[in-house]
Structure 1
Amino acid sequence: MEPYILYYWPTIQGRGEFVRLALEEAAVPYQDVGRGRKGMPQIDAVLDAAIEAMPAFAPPVLRAGAQLIGQTTNILQFLGAKHALAPRTQEGRLWCNQLQLTIADVVAEAHDSHHPISMNLYYDDQKKEAKARAKDFRTERIPKFLGYFERVLENNPRRGGFAVGARLTYVDLSLFQLIAGLRYAFPQTMARLEPQWPRLIALHDMVAARPNIEAYLKSKRRIPFNEDGIFRRYPELDGQAPASLSARR
């Protein structure tokens, strides 16, 4: 098949990582253009209304032949149907889409825990507000979201430990990434709270052990978490003693 083209920032996992995980699990060829030579002009081009008839607002964007698909959840819905990463029934696909939209909600809140006022300000310019926002995120929002996903796993009538049906879907891959990101950003909080969500943690471990995902995680294609992405490790936001930090956006 003609390789997919993924347009996403070259130095962070970000929202593009949810798409990368689906492409890696499906073992389909794709080009991560942002990480190649002259990648940024290509990313700019798919956001340019003067060039694209249906431009995307922001990355990630996936090109499938002549079709250009934006928004993480939208891309995953497409890939799920195309590569057996979603149920065959409309009911099952809508359920996957609903869960993925909920994952997108908590991912946005994780980002806002370190940038609660504006993306255009440095973290150090909103550190006080970030500490208050992060405390609420740690104590109220993480338990609310992960408790919900734990119940989803518990209520799945099919055996196997997956979120939807009896086999892996893109939702399981995204839940893996959510847990991995929260562990990076809030290690102390997650270490304390994880025993409440045994099914969710078991799912994370099961996804990490899948051959295609395990190989990807060990490869150079997997960009390490860092303090430029969605999930950022600022110890003071995890309820720890302040660290010496340089100003970052």
Structure 2
Amino acid sequence: MHPTAPYQLYYWPGIQGRGEFVRLALEAAGVAYVDVARRRGERGMEAMLASLDGAVTAHPSFAPPVLRAGELLIGQTANILQFLGARHGLAPRAQQGRLWANQLQLTIADIVNEVHDCHHPLSTNLYYEQQQPAARTRAADFTARRLPKYLGYFEGVLVHNPARGNHAVGGRLSYVDLSLFQLVAGLRYAFPNAMARQQQAWPRLLALHDSVAARPRIAAYLKSARRLPFNEDGIFRHYPELDR
């Protein structure tokens, strides 16, 4: 059963971050949700931090995003998407398909972590400016080796999907497609030169990005104020010196 009350999404208010993967699924499903920390100011931030507090909730999350669905409080991006996918038709019905979708989402989480480590290779407790030499080394390796390895893998997933249509899992839109859209969009923002040099290797993946962006609900979302812009406080950051 679907909840009668809107979902509540707890995430940092000024960045897309990992919360954006959840927002895209909620927007594509056309279900009501409240982006708590953005819409409720200081009280929203307090509510978000409370979702991480073991003294407040029996199942605290280590970090946002966190989704409240009725009495459920669900953490971890892939876990949230697995829940939403099953509930709103954004995942296969069969167990094998759902496991495959989750596997792909966890692989997306891996590359997202590596993108983050390009600008924070030494410590999350240091500013980017305090680790620039290491960041240059890490980003050069990422754009030359890791980025094509990951995107080549996802290209192969699309090519070998036996179902018709340009989808990662089965023959219809899934949360994995939405997350691949966000991954490509973020990489184009962070590493436009590297992406432009290599884009001919991933025609199916880029076509998936374009098809997701053209879906009516997603197109409307991307034009709305609900879609935060990429910026240099989030995961996908554009520093020209890291995109040689």
Q: TM > 0.5 between the two?
A: yes
Find the partner of 2:223 among 213, 218, 221. Answer: 218
SS at match of 2:68: strand
SS at match of 1:221: coil
1:61-140 to structure 2, matched below 5 A, reads 61-140=66-145
Matched AA of 1:88: R
Find the partner of 1:178 among 183, 187, 203. Answer: 183
Find the partner of 2:12 among 6, 9, 13. Answer: 9
Tell me how far 1:39 sits from its aligned partner: 1.3
Write the distance in 1 (CA, Å) between the matches of 2:194 and 2:148.
Answer: 10
Matched AA of 1:204: H
SS at match of 2:195: helix
1:136-147 to structure 2, matched below 5 A, reads 136-147=141-152
Find the partner of 1:27 among 30, 38, 41. Answer: 30
Q: Deviations over 1:159-206 (max 9, x none)?
A: 111001110100000000000000000001101111110000000000
Tell me how far 1:109 sits from its aligned partner: 0.1
Find the partner of 1:60 among 45, 65, 76. Answer: 65
Runs of at least 5 residues in structure 2 that lack an aligned partner in the other structure = none
The equivalent residue for 2:21 is 18
Q: Deviations over 1:197-236 (max 9, x none)?
A: 0000000000000000000000000000000000000000
Write the distance in 2 (CA, Å) between the matches of 1:237 and 1:98.
Answer: 29
Write the distance in 1 (CA, Å) between the matches of 2:65 and 2:84.
Answer: 14
Write the distance in 2 (CA, Å) between the matches of 1:40 and 1:165.
Answer: 38
Write the distance in 2 (CA, Å) between the matches of 1:7 and 1:177.
Answer: 19
Runs of at least 5 residues in structure 1 that lack an aligned partner in the other structure = 240-249
Write the distance in 2 (CA, Å) between the matches of 1:205 and 1:124.
Answer: 34
Tell me how far 1:2 sits from its aligned partner: 1.3
Q: TM-score, normalised by structure 1?
A: 0.95
Whether 1:205 aligns to 2:205 is: no
Runs of 4+ in 1 over 3 A off after TM superposition: none
Report the identity percentage. 70
Q: TM-score, normalised by structure 2?
A: 0.97
Write the distance in 1 (CA, Å) between the matches of 2:179 and 2:131.
Answer: 29
SS at match of 2:54: coil
Tell me how far 1:47 sits from its aligned partner: 0.6
Whether 1:148 aligns to 2:153 is: yes
Write the distance in 1 (CA, Å) between the matches of 2:76 and 2:138.
Answer: 26
Write the distance in 2 (CA, Å) between the matches of 1:54 and 1:227.
Answer: 31
Whether 1:165 aligns to 2:170 is: yes
CA RMSD of aligned residues (A): 0.4
How many equivalent residue pairs?
Answer: 239
SS at match of 1:153: helix
Write the distance in 2 (CA, Å) between the matches of 1:2 and 1:40.
Answer: 20
The equivalent residue for 2:235 is 230
